[in-house]
Amino acid sequence: MKKVIILLIVLLLFCSAFFTKTAIPFPNHTEYSKGCIKPSLYSQEELDEQVMRYYDRWKERYITDVPQSDIPMKYVNFCFLPLEWLDQTIATVSEAHGYGMIILATMSGYDEKAREDFDAMFNYFKAFPSRGDKRLMSWKQLKVRDEQGNIIGVEDIDTGSSVSDGDLDIAYALLMADNQWGSYGEINYREEAQKLLDGIVEAEVHPEYNYLLLGDWSIIYDSQMEGTRPSDFLINHMTILTEADEKNSETWNKMRNETLKICDQIFKRNTPNCGILPDFVIRNEKGEYIPAPEFYLEAEFDGDYNWNSCRVPWRLPMDYIISGKIELYKQIQTMNEWIKKETEMNPLSINPGYYIINGETGKQIIRDWEVTDMSYIAPFAVSAMVDENNQEWLDNLWSCIISDEWENGIPFEENPYYPNTLRMLMMIVVSGNWWAPK
């Protein structure tokens, strides 16, 4: 009898692994919070079709095999275009890996190979753990080339520590995978998500003040423990994890509340006219959260709205759109009204960067080049969704996002990984197809 039971269990596991269908196939048409809007120029069927066609292009270009690996491994190609300013030695970064895994989990059902590719990306994630905490992912890997210049593999960098947003998105994607395909196959997605979430809580959260650190290196080296990065303010992830991760529920709730506190302080003190957040924030000796000084970690504009915080108009509204949480609504709408006025409703007038500490708040950063960037344009489409008064603005943004002509948008073929991948993620949200794992 015992052998029969064991045989039945094995058979059940086998069937689950090989015959489980996608539970939430794309398109899924998530019911967003009351009052949220979508582009009005197209039907839902047309919006879905636009996402699927863009996804085909995105996946063909960016999802890349690791050559000569013992097991299938894939990553999001960070350096597809041969641009002079782009470091061509980079294979990928953990931020990109999290984006790719979320996109694949979402597009399953439309893409029959989504699970296979997701698992290959999981294998890659496991192959490059952070040197600080092995449960987390090392933040950057490099391409290995032979004497002829052919890529023959991928290797980690010497200082392979983690960054927080990449780990959070990978954990979120693993929970999505558990919901999509179940955890009875070769990979126990739920179990792997829990390991990663435990690592984030222990190594990437300030032990006293409960805000998200820049990465595990902050604790390991006691370096820049006062710093956090608003582009990592995945507040809806925290809301969902308060329920989905029972083990660490209290920490996620504290982290969410502290993150809302940071947003509120910066908004009221520094950006009441525009609602934007700086690339980096620090907690000063008085316990106040303020924009970081110049060159705090990366560049002159670390205290301004720059290449990191261009994701803020996406990250902040998600808690309202998905979970109906209203704490940030005023800030989000302030951001919407400001950018509509600043650009005169023309998405191509969105500037790649705005001052917070280096000049008049909300005024564009002056650079040597004036071309805008999809990294800055697409996220505003998500913030526009929160109120029907933004309908014309949202329609303008969507038209720009889907355009392949310079007169109306930015061509896919001339964009590197970052703006094209943010565009992919925003299209999923704005078309009504972003969903939260249980």
Distances (CA, A) of 2 to 12, 13, 60, 76: 15, 17, 49, 46
pLDDT of residue 145: 81
pLDDT of residue 113: 98
- CATH T-level fold of 2-430: Glycosyltransferase (1.50.10)
The rounded percent of the chain whose pLDDT value lies above 70 is: 93
Handedness of CA 246, 248, 253, 259 (dihedral sign): negative
Find, among 234, 114, 112, the residue nearest to 163 by Cα.
234
CB atoms closer than 10 angstroms to residue 272: 13
Helix or strand run (H / E) with residue 5? helix 2-19
Distances (CA, A) of 392 to 253, 340, 347: 36, 10, 11
The phi, psi pair for 240, rounded to 5°, reads: -65, -40
pLDDT tens for 96-114 read: 999 999 999 999 999 999 9
How is residue 79 written in tokens?
A: 């350096």
Please tell me which of 229-238, 356-365, 366-375 the model is most confident about, judged by mean pLDDT. 229-238
Does residue 365 have a pLDDT over 50?
yes
pLDDT of residue 6: 43
Does residue 154 have a pLDDT over 50?
yes
Find, among 29, 42, 12, the residue nearest to 109 by Cα.
29
Q: How many CA atoms lie within 13 A of 75 on its CB side?
A: 28
Find, among 292, 286, 243, 246, the residue nearest to 266 by Cα.
292
Confidence of residue 10 (pLDDT cuts 50, 70, 90): very low
- Torsion angle of alpha carbons 365, 300, 212, 85, nearest 10°? 80
Domain ranges of the chain: 2-430
Find, among 265, 259, 126, the residue nearest to 195 by Cα.
126
How is residue 221 written in tokens?
A: 């080296």
How is residue 214 written in tokens?
A: 């820049």
Confidence of residue 17 (pLDDT cuts 50, 70, 90): very low
pLDDT of residue 77: 95
pLDDT tens for 238-280 read: 999 999 999 999 999 999 999 999 999 999 999 999 999 999 9
- Chain mean pLDDT for the chain: 92
pLDDT tens for 374-427 read: 999 999 999 999 999 999 999 999 999 999 999 999 999 988 999 999 999 999
Does residue 217 have a pLDDT over 60?
yes
What does pTM read for this prediction?
Answer: 0.94
Handedness of CA 56, 60, 63, 69 (dihedral sign): positive
How is residue 361 written in tokens?
A: 């708040």
Please give the full DSSP string across 325-357, using - where no structure is assigned. --TTHHHHHHHHHHHHHHHTT-GGG--S-B-SS
The three-point CA angle 135-138-144 to 5° equals 135
Largest distance between two CA atoms of the chain: 77
Query: What whole-number distance in Å separates Cα of residue 257 and Cα of residue 211?
Result: 9
Q: What is the 3-state secondary structure (H, E, C) of 117-135?
A: HHHHHHHHHHHCECCCCCC
Confidence of residue 8 (pLDDT cuts 50, 70, 90): very low
Helix or strand run (H / E) with residue 57? helix 44-62
Confidence of residue 372 (pLDDT cuts 50, 70, 90): confident
pLDDT tens for 25-61 read: 999 999 999 999 999 999 999 999 999 999 999 999 9
End-to-end CA distance of the chain: 36
- Torsion angle of alpha carbons 164, 167, 170, 174, nearest 10°? -120
pLDDT tens for 121-136 read: 999 999 999 999 999 9
Query: What whole-number distance in Å separates Cα of residue 1 and Cα of residue 429?
Result: 51
pLDDT of residue 84: 58
The rounded percent of the chain whose pLDDT value lies above 90 is: 83
pLDDT of residue 11: 42
Report which DSSP code applies to 12: H
Report which DSSP code applies to 348: G
Edge-to-edge strand order for the sheet containing 281-283? 227-228, 281-283, 289-291
Confidence of residue 85 (pLDDT cuts 50, 70, 90): low
Query: What whole-number distance in Å separates Cα of residue 174 and Cα of residue 317?
Result: 22
Please give the full DSSP string across 149-166, using - where no structure is assigned. S-EEEEEE-TT----HHH
Is residue 249 a contact partner of residue 203, using CB atoms and an 8 Å limit? no
Does residue 1 have a pLDDT over 70?
no
